[in-house]
Structure 1
Amino acid sequence: EDISAIRVALGEADAVLGGDLVTTAGAKTIGLMKTGRTGAVVNSHQIITGDFTRDTEFKLPFDRLELQLEARLAGNLAEFDASELARALLGDSIFSNMMIVGAAWQRGLLPLSYDAIMAAIELNKAAVEGNKRAFEIGRWAVEFPGDAAKAISPVVVDKPKSLEEIIAYRADYLVDYQNAALKSRYLSLVDQAQDARLKQAVAKGYHKLLAYKDEYEVARLMLDVREKAQAEFDGNFTMRFHLAPPILSGTDANGRPKKREFGGWIMPVYRLLARLKGLRGTAFDLFGRTRERKMERALIAQYEADMAEVLPDVTPQTLDIAVELAELPLSVRGFGPVKMANETTAAKRREALLAAFRAGGADIVDAAE
């Protein structure tokens, strides 16, 4: 039957191939589906939207989105993480869409012959073998979801669990971040906390401030990413980086730093910056005069002064206040204007917590809010 409309009417979709859960479960798309008629195959990969870069507390309700689809499709829904499966088995998430096509065909949702689909892939002349393999993997994944899930099971990394391990891990990180002197500075303050819960709070909060991600650290981390990619993938490959250097980026219409794309030529720049990390915080710091870097250094000094006041005088009545104050830097997340806004909020909370501490912990809830 010929197609006589350019759009699918409400409730008249026979098949839905969802490249991501957010769009597929959105009101416009879900309105095209009808229980008993529509079948769908959806990539369940949890994407991070642009809202997260503007609001560090932003979270997408993935569970609710899945429930909406399941309620509408009543058993005619197949989901699997095609993005991670494509990365794990083919080395690139770009093949996830063809996996969804393969899964949909296997479920009988596409009225096309196998030969027709293979011919279309060949005619397209883009990563022909990769797309053919992705199609077959999609067919397999929808038939054997348990095996597909095992193929993308995350590598378990042993994270520090005990308090001693937490402190040692962060102390060693600071050596790579800058030098052994910074490690000693860190341990000197952490060791002043006597209560275990408070010591852990200081260990995390102080480390967060000391290891702020400036240009030197970003360069070091990008070199590490490149090294890991070379170990993971064979042959030649290119990497592109989207960055917003303060001295180059400018701002967009919303007043936020404008990101620019940098090619592989920037790797020598990364290597140079990583070697110059010893300049961090000195008079010769290339980036130390920006507003954000000045704020980060000021927060370190402020935190050290606060802990010098609080740690010697903690009582059972003020312990909870001291712990929250020590952990407060963890709320100053993000970069640029996002970080500045979070710091403003944290500064108000700090004043309330210090006032409550100095008052001996009385009316802690009212004083700290």
Structure 2
Amino acid sequence: RRKRGTFPDPDRRVFINPDVCEGCGDCGVQSNCVSILPLETEFGRKRAIDQSSCNKDYSCLKGFCPSFVTLEGAEVRARPRQDLALPDLPAPPLPAIRGTYNIVVTGVGGTGVVTIGALLAMAAHLEGKGAGVMEMAGLAQKGGAVHIHCRIAGKPADISAIRVAVGEADALIGGDLVVSAGTKTLGLLTRGRSRAVVNSHEIVTGQFTRDRGFRLPTDRLTLALRARLGDAGLVMLDATRLAEVLTGDAVHANVLMLGAAWQSGLVPLGEEAILRAIEINGADPEGNKRAFALGRWAVLHAAAAAEAAAPPAPPRAADLDTIIARRADHLAKYQDARLARRYRDRIARARELDEDFASAMARGYHKLLAYKDEYEVARLHSETLRAAVDAQFASVRAMRFHLAPPILGGLDADRRPKKREFGPWMLGLLGLLARMKRLRGTALDPFGRTAERRLERALIAEYEADMDRVQAGLAPETRDIAIELASLPLEIRGFGPVKARAAEQAAGRRRELLEAFEAGGWPRVVAAE
């Protein structure tokens, strides 16, 4: 309704400053929202908001994190897109309807997959055909698995049931790889009868909101589809990436998939009726008609489409010298040159023993030394926030901050420190606070006596003692244990109660690793004869 202008659209957007974000995932836990995407950075995996799919319920603000700001009057900058001139696209032969032609559409709720079922039904109606569409069991909530069952017949009387039974699907339009390769969907497909066009893009699922390190088992899911359909029965393309590159917005991905399915001969409806259905739907008709044509082009020119959808080349893995230099530079900005030297000296001693151990320590030790206290959050917001916002938005009228200053106290309904909203004036105060970083750790530090600050200082001292202990007894049998122990601080992410919980979990793993190290390695498993 917002897209059609029939429902108020709040003039407020949520933005995450990636420099402040710890990647703890608490925002996803609190909101269960798949518009929170992973963002890979030099300092680990962070979070970002997908502005195209954000439904503006603002539940992510419940996450205990100072990286969130809300922007008023913000317009998302148009993404750069390739201006592709489409060649003539020959129409495919349409499949015959024998009784009913059964289409299953899969995807993730909140991404427009339900619209595909509506377009198919309207196009069938426009051609005088019968159509029955069912959204399975109300599962079309944002982030949930969606199955749309659509039966198309020559006349309405030919449709006796709408739900597609086991093995009866003639076509699968898969907007999401996870749902498409799930047991529920595979059971509807039959080799030789069923054919599919599936979006290969790794779309974030609800699992990511609960497991911050979750990654899709893409190869296994693709193998399951090929095993059921055979190579000839499956077409895969990265529709999400193509939509981003060629239309400037991933929201067009599902209509692009519809175009690809139609060109592959999986839809028994004419192009004219489908395009008219897109116009009647009323949501960005020109953009969606363009997406439909691009889907057709992607099937006819698969190699060119694959090249267009290819992600940017990943940056070359940094060597250890670069890793150390970047983190030492960060520590100098964080505090001073003295802290940077302390870091460099300790990593240099570790490097004399083992390069991989030193690499793990370079990341882990930096994570502990550069803990994000009030001074650092203030510095990062005051130095990097405006540039990060300007890169994604235009015409920002005001920024509001969502913070839980310890000096104000108070608990929320979940017994966590209460977050409060602060106006644009807070940015000036943060700049002043950033310049007070010299007080960090001194007797004059007003924040230094909180439980969180004491924990962070204790973790540094504990880590340094552990590394001294490990380096004194490092051996080939304990090398892997030492590397994991050196990397363990990377698991201690977040702020306040989130960080405290992560530290407690890491402490348990630390005890296990130290016990194994002192025992000379992990116990060997001896196979029974």
> Normalising to structure 2: TM-score of the pair?
0.56
Task: Give the whole-Å Cα distance in 1 for the aligned partners of 2:257 and 2:163.
Answer: 21
The 1:84–1:9 alpha-carbon spacing in structure 2 relative to 1, beyond 3 Å, is same
Q: What CA deviation, in whole Å up to 9, does each residue of 1:79-125 have, x standing for no partner? A: 11111111122221111011101101111111222222222222222
Equivalent in the alignment of 2:311: 154
In 1, are the aligned partners of 2:278 and 2:289 still within 8 Å (CA)?
Answer: yes
The 1:78–1:297 alpha-carbon spacing in structure 2 relative to 1, beyond 3 Å, is farther
Task: Give the whole-Å Cα distance in 2 for the aligned partners of 1:258 and 1:35.
Answer: 56
TM superposition shift of 1:229: 2.4
Task: Give the whole-Å Cα distance in 2 for the aligned partners of 1:225 and 1:43.
Answer: 30
Deviates more, 1:151-160 or 1:221-230: 221-230
2:369 to 195, 205, 210: 210
Task: Give the whole-Å Cα distance in 2 for the aligned partners of 1:257 and 1:111.
Answer: 58
Equivalent in the alignment of 1:347: 507
1:55 equivalenced with 2:55 (yes/no): no
Equivalent in the alignment of 2:185: 29
Task: Give the whole-Å Cα distance in 2 for the aligned partners of 1:249 and 1:38.
Answer: 56
1:327 to 476, 487, 494: 487
1:16 to 155, 166, 172: 172
In 2, are the aligned partners of 1:11 and 1:31 still within 8 Å (CA)?
Answer: yes
Task: Give the whole-Å Cα distance in 1 for the aligned partners of 2:336 and 2:180.
Answer: 49
Deviates more, 1:216-225 or 1:113-122: 216-225
Pairing of 1:137-286 with structure 2 (within 5 A)? 137-175=294-332, 180=337, 182-193=339-350, 194-195=352-353, 196-212=355-371, 216=377, 219=381, 223-229=386-392, 273=430, 276-277=433-434, 283-285=445-447
TM superposition shift of 1:138: 1.0
The 1:342–1:178 alpha-carbon spacing in structure 2 relative to 1, beyond 3 Å, is same
1:108 equivalenced with 2:268 (yes/no): no
In 2, are the aligned partners of 1:103 and 1:135 still within 8 Å (CA)?
Answer: yes
TM superposition shift of 1:184: 3.4
| Counterpart code for 2:506 | A
Pairing of 1:79-118 with structure 2 (within 5 A)? 79-118=236-275
Task: Give the whole-Å Cα distance in 2 for the aligned partners of 1:68 and 1:142.
Answer: 22
* Secondary structure, aligned partner of 2:294: helix
The 1:38–1:355 alpha-carbon spacing in structure 2 relative to 1, beyond 3 Å, is closer
The 1:11–1:319 alpha-carbon spacing in structure 2 relative to 1, beyond 3 Å, is closer
Give RMSD over aligned pairs.
4.0
In 1, are the aligned partners of 2:474 and 2:482 still within 8 Å (CA)?
Answer: no
Q: How many residues align?
A: 351
Task: Give the whole-Å Cα distance in 1 for the aligned partners of 2:220 and 2:455.
Answer: 39
The 1:336–1:13 alpha-carbon spacing in structure 2 relative to 1, beyond 3 Å, is farther
Equivalent in the alignment of 2:197: 41
Q: What CA deviation, in whole Å up to 9, does each residue of 1:48-84 have, x standing for no partner? A: 3232332345443322221121122222211111111
The 1:297–1:144 alpha-carbon spacing in structure 2 relative to 1, beyond 3 Å, is farther
1:302 equivalenced with 2:462 (yes/no): yes
Q: What CA deviation, in whole Å up to 9, does each residue of 1:11-68 have, x standing for no partner? A: 2222221110111111222222222222211111112323233234544332222112
Whose strand fraction is larger, Structure 1's or Structure 2's? 2
Q: What CA deviation, in whole Å up to 9, does each residue of 1:219-247 have, x standing for no partner? A: 466655424325xxxx7699999x99667
| Counterpart code for 1:34 | T
| Counterpart code for 1:226 | V
Alignment gaps of 5+ in structure 2: 1-153, 525-529
Task: Give the whole-Å Cα distance in 2 for the aligned partners of 1:70 and 1:80.
Answer: 14
| Counterpart code for 1:350 | R
Task: Give the whole-Å Cα distance in 1 for the aligned partners of 2:198 and 2:423.
Answer: 37
* Secondary structure, aligned partner of 2:484: helix
The 1:309–1:284 alpha-carbon spacing in structure 2 relative to 1, beyond 3 Å, is same
Q: What CA deviation, in whole Å up to 9, does each residue of 1:173-217 have, x standing for no partner? A: 445656655433422322232223332221121123234567828
Q: What CA deviation, in whole Å up to 9, does each residue of 1:116-167 have, x standing for no partner? A: 2222222222222221221111111122222222113232354453321221
| Counterpart code for 2:323 | I
Deviates more, 1:208-217 or 1:45-54: 208-217
Task: Give the whole-Å Cα distance in 2 for the aligned partners of 1:148 and 1:259.
Answer: 46
In 2, are the aligned partners of 1:56 and 1:334 still within 8 Å (CA)?
Answer: no
* Secondary structure, aligned partner of 1:365: coil
| Counterpart code for 2:368 | L
Task: Give the whole-Å Cα distance in 1 for the aligned partners of 2:171 and 2:503.
Answer: 48
1:131 equivalenced with 2:288 (yes/no): yes
Task: Give the whole-Å Cα distance in 1 for the aligned partners of 2:499 and 2:304.
Answer: 42
The 1:123–1:249 alpha-carbon spacing in structure 2 relative to 1, beyond 3 Å, is farther
In 2, are the aligned partners of 1:99 and 1:137 still within 8 Å (CA)?
Answer: yes
Task: Give the whole-Å Cα distance in 2 for the aligned partners of 1:158 and 1:181.
Answer: 30
Equivalent in the alignment of 1:68: 224
Task: Give the whole-Å Cα distance in 2 for the aligned partners of 1:240 and 1:98.
Answer: 35
